[in-house]
Amino acid sequence: MSLDLEEQEKLDTLKEYWDRYGNLVVGALAAVAITFAGMQWWQHNQQQKSAEASALFSALQNAQKTNQTKIVVETAKTLTEQYAGTAYAARGALIAAATSFNANDLKTAKAELQWVLDHSKEDGIKTLAALHMADILLDENNPAAALALLDAPHEESFADLFSDRKGDALVMQNKRDEARATYKIALEKLPADSPYRKVIEIKLNAIAGVATK
């Protein structure tokens, strides 16, 4: 079928455009396709890793319930080494730290907590790790290191516990005036019906403080 002059000109223009830019167009389309395929693969891989991490975390929890310390620690190690990007890794490390602490393995407990502090992107999880690490450091008679953690930024919902531990550290350093002030802050932060208020009041009275009522 013959083409009129206008249609022939359009066809010639299209051919010229394709000769000049065809390779670029094909390349751009290929790049888009590769990027899309890569994103699909990445999303599938992340979903698979999350599912695997979830299964490991469940196994870790079951091992904790039956006091299988070795399995808890080994499973947490797998989570932190192979599934560090998932939310289960830091949670597994926290459980492993608590399990190791109860087994008097402070070295492993501190290593797990340090991993959380160094790698977790969740403020709440990092705050818990800092609090537990401070507890261990206080048990080791290292108030200066504990204070370094307790003075660092943390979630406000934990302010009462941080102030309480900070008071303990200051008492160990014989800084009683600062300790009294810090214990009083802990009391202010605690809910009025918290049974832990009595514990802090006892600490205050032990250093000749004045417990609030």
**16-28 pLDDT, tens digit each:** 666 666 666 666 6
Confidence of residue 48 (pLDDT cuts 50, 70, 90): confident
Confidence of residue 46 (pLDDT cuts 50, 70, 90): low
Q: Which residue has the higher pLDDT, 41 or 169?
A: 169
Residue written as tokens 């005036």?
177
Domain range 11-121, CATH class: mainly alpha
CA atoms of 108 and 76, how far apart (whole Å): 11
Q: Where are the domains of the chain?
A: 11-121, 123-213
pLDDT at 91 over 90: yes
Taking residues 3-10, report their average pLDDT: 57
Confidence of residue 50 (pLDDT cuts 50, 70, 90): confident
Residue 132 burial by Cβ neighbours in a 10 Å radius (0-12, 13-18, 19+): buried
Q: C-alpha 98: how far from its chain's center?
A: 16
Q: In the structure encoding, which two tokens stand for residue 203, read together?
A: 């600490």
SS (H, E, C) 19-40: HHHHHHHHHHHHHHHHHHHHHH
What's the predicted TM-score (pTM) here? Answer: 0.74
**104-113 pLDDT, tens digit each:** 999 999 999 9
CA atoms of 162 and 139, how far apart (whole Å): 15
Start-to-end CA span in the chain (Å) = 101
